[in-house]
Copies of this chain bind each other. A is one copy, B any other.
Amino acid sequence: MTIAFLDLRDKLREFSRARDWDQFHTPRNLATALAVEAAELLEHFQWLRDEESTSLQPEVREAVSLEAADVLLYLVRLADKLDLDLIALAQRKIEINAEKYPVALARGNAKKYTDL
């Protein structure tokens, strides 16, 4: 899986331009749509027990896959509107997290860094 975020970004630009949707794509609206899609993804897990969530039924996995795609698409679109480099930010955030969660303190527990 090599990729082109740029390719996704450009396809979404063209998609929106063709439909005259840029008027709706304010950062705020896109952030709202992103949160709504993430909740729709989560909905598929809401009544599952832990062990059921690790071996999804095929139709659930398919539905989750398409919701995950929606999350990515809105995230790419939001990043485009705010001129963010998502990959660089993600790399940077991993480094920040490594400092917040030192291996020695965080090992085997799920506490928030403020409670370590």
Q: How many residues of A contact B (CB 8 A)?
A: 79
The answer to whether A32 touches B19 (Cβ under 8 A) is no
Copies of this subunit: 4
Q: Contact flags (1/0) for A40-62 with B, using CB distance below 8 Å? A: 11111111111001101000010
Contact of A84 among B31, B43, B48, B68 (CB under 8 A): B68
Which 4 residue pairs spanning A and B have beta carbons closest together? Answer: A39-B39, A28-B53, A47-B110, A69-B93
Residues of A participating in the B interface, judged by any CB pair closer than 8 Å: 1-6, 8, 11-12, 15, 18-21, 23-24, 26-29, 31-50, 53-54, 56, 61, 64-66, 68-73, 75-76, 78-79, 81-82, 84-94, 96-98, 101, 103, 106-108, 110
